[in-house]
Amino acid sequence: MTQNQSNKKITIQNRIIILLSIIGLIFCIAALFPQVRRMIMEVAERIAQREASTYQSWLKTLLAYAMGGICFILFFDYCTLTHSGRKFACNVKQELKDCLSGIDFRSFVRPLCVMFGVYFLGILAIIRANFSYMDDLQRAVEGFRTWYNWSRYISEFASIFVHGDPNLTDISPLPQLLAVLILACSSVLLVYVIGNKKITTVRLLASIPLGLSPYFLGCIVYKFDAPYMALSILASIVPFLFIARKRAFIFCSIVSLLVMCMTYQAASGIYMLIVIMLCFQDWNTCRKNNKEILSFLGIAAFTFCFALLLFRFFLMKPADYYATTAMHPLPHIISGTIGNIKNYAMIINKDWGMIWKIGIILVGLFFIAKSMHNSTRKKPVSFFASTLVIGISFILSYGVYSLLIIYFYDPRTLYGFGVFLAIMCIYIVSDYKKAAIVIALALNWCLFVFAFSYGNALADQARYAEFRTTILLHDLSALFPSRNREYIQFQLKNSIDYAPTIKNIAKHYPIIKRLLLKRLADVPFYENYYYLEYFNFSSLSGANLPSNNNFIDFDTLGLPVVLDSYYHTIQSDGDHVLITLKH
């Protein structure tokens, strides 16, 4: 190709970019005007024949999307149409290539296979249990996605490719196997980053809490969500492969953090958790001077905040359901955050069994001991710094959730704590005393064993719940046999208790009860949905719930008892049904 032809091709490309940019800017700027947004809403109403209120929440975010679109178009044009922008883009591209060329990816194959095998074996009992967990119940019946409502756009679109169709169906255990593969990649990369690019079998096994902590087991049990939750961990680790080049690291950090935010925001603390650990290692051994460490810390912190602000103002949809995206107001942000962290610590203390807690304490002590042993600084200073790092890392493991007004401590949101444990375990088994290796691997063995207990508990609880549900539906179908009559409103009182095996496990592993959901609970929607749809029993209506404005407590109606059995009591006047489940 001659120089003139090359210049002509570039000119045509630039003209196309300019044309598309103008069109995009026109749409984005137009969306800034209230009249245009109102017109869009009216058109949407006519097309879908729905009320205006249906689109109100969507239109509130349209303004932010428009502003984000304008910023993106201008930045893209800068990188493609200007000399300085093209030079900047070329430098970033070259730095990315340099970092990737310095990594021997073939050396990752064996560790990846090892960790895939470990994680697969760990969740084998969960796969065997075939337990439909919360959202899984409705997704399997109705095929909806709706991750979009929680700003998890990557989960929304990736699920279409994973399931091969916009309408989701239960294809388990494929999503969970994908999650295992992603977790294996995450473990290998975490060991590579924390272990100074040295991967050993012991370090890999030390990373087990990343994927088999009780909290991430609360994620892997989801048949539909599991791979995207795992992806949020991997996205938080990937940027550190490019740590040797500043521009590449910043670029990858922003992209990866946005990926994390658009998959599962519970991983929001992992990035800074790794940053703190790397800074501590460099400081403790004097591999870098204070200026270099502070420079890296500042760049990472700025990048982290910048990426989260991009997500917050241009991508995030405000949520106000059982969880909220509202943060503490500025005057109360310190006291509110401290309160959330205290609650976080209390929840973990209640969840973890005594053996686990002893193991965690010993890992922490070995962390401090190794830091002092390897330190080139004064021992008291190293002791104080290592203790401070443990405290800061623990706080960061909860991520940005510590800033929210309504704290959310469901097990699946706390898996940052498992990554925190994995980092400490990797650190203490790296070129240190055999006692540290024994303690770390013993703790991880306990977590590995618990995964089997949890999987078997899921199967036991499912069998018991289905037995109770079958008896109840048999009695209800006998009492209300007509399929053609109008819906009967019902209420549940109490819920199906835990199976005896779960009660036994809970004596030593208290978290098991938070990881196992009761079927036929009196309020949770998905559990009631289980027997209304899965058993094709549609003669009842569950609309009368405490969340409704017109809620009536059927217990106050004095309904006559129509059936009293060993497992439940049914009261009804023909239009209202009160079901009291017995423990």
pLDDT surpassing 90 at residue 535: no
Predicted confidence at residue 48, as pLDDT, reads 47
Predicted confidence at residue 256, as pLDDT, reads 95
Predicted confidence at residue 344, as pLDDT, reads 93
CA distance 545 to 340: 29
How many CA atoms within 13 Å lie on the side-chain side of 406? 9
At residue 52 the predicted structure's pLDDT band, cuts being 50, 70 and 90, is very low
Place of tokens 């984000």: 68
Tell me the per-residue pLDDT of 328-360, one tens digit each, with 9 for 90 and over: 787 888 888 899 999 999 999 999 989 999 999
At residue 54 the predicted structure's pLDDT band, cuts being 50, 70 and 90, is very low
Pairing of strands 540-541, 488-493: parallel
Average pLDDT, stretch 17-32? Answer: 68
Predicted confidence at residue 90, as pLDDT, reads 87
DSSP 292: H
Average pLDDT, stretch 85-114? Answer: 88
Predicted confidence at residue 50, as pLDDT, reads 47
Per the CB < 8 A criterion, the answer to whether 420 and 344 are in contact is: no
Average pLDDT, stretch 42-49? Answer: 53
pLDDT surpassing 60 at residue 541: no
Percent of the chain scoring above 70 in pLDDT? 83
Predicted confidence at residue 536, as pLDDT, reads 72
Angle at CA of residue 87, ends 83 and 88, nearest 5° = 120
Per the CB < 8 A criterion, the answer to whether 476 and 563 are in contact is: no
User: Which of 234, 225, 233 minimizes the C-alpha distance to 156?
Assistant: 225
- Three-state secondary-structure class, residue 23: helix
Give whole-number Cα distances, 376 to 281, 286, 311, 371, in Å.
11, 7, 41, 10
Pairing of strands 561-564, 540-541: unpaired
Tell me the per-residue pLDDT of 113-148, one tens digit each, with 9 for 90 and over: 999 999 999 999 999 999 888 888 888 888 888 887
> CA dihedral in degrees (333, 309, 318, 145; nearest 10)?
-130
pLDDT surpassing 90 at residue 191: yes
CA distance 125 to 453: 8
Domain ranges of the chain: 3-81, 101-432, 455-581
- Three-state secondary-structure class, residue 320: strand
Average pLDDT, stretch 185-209? Answer: 94
Sheet (strand 576-581) strand order: 540-541, 488-493, 576-581, 568-572, 561-564
Predicted confidence at residue 479, as pLDDT, reads 85
Predicted confidence at residue 83, as pLDDT, reads 75
At residue 538 the predicted structure's pLDDT band, cuts being 50, 70 and 90, is low
Average pLDDT, stretch 229-255? Answer: 94
Predicted confidence at residue 139, as pLDDT, reads 86
**Token digits of residue 507:** 């004596």
* C-alpha 96 chain-centroid distance: 27
Can you give the pTM of this predicted structure?
A: 0.88
- Helices then strands (H, E): number in the chain? 24, 5
At residue 53 the predicted structure's pLDDT band, cuts being 50, 70 and 90, is very low
Instruction: Indicate the residue type of 578.
Output: L
pLDDT surpassing 90 at residue 425: yes
Tell me the per-residue pLDDT of 201-241, one tens digit each, with 9 for 90 and over: 999 999 999 999 999 999 999 999 999 999 999 999 999 99
Give whole-number Cα distances, 491 to 390, 522, 541, in Å.
48, 7, 9
Average pLDDT value for the chain: 84
pLDDT surpassing 90 at residue 296: yes
Predicted confidence at residue 34, as pLDDT, reads 62
Tell me the per-residue pLDDT of 399-424, one tens digit each, with 9 for 90 and over: 988 888 877 788 999 999 999 999 99
CA distance 101 to 93: 12
- 93 contact partners, CB below 8 Å, separation of at least 6: none
Weakest mean pLDDT among 113-122, 298-307, 486-495: 486-495
- Higher-pLDDT residue of 250 and 551 is 250
3-state secondary structure string, 217-282?
HHHHCCCCCHHHHHHHHHHHHHHHHHCCCHHHHHHHHHHHHHHHHCCCHHHCCHHHHHHHHHHHHH
Name the phi and psi angles at 548, rounded to 5: -80, 150
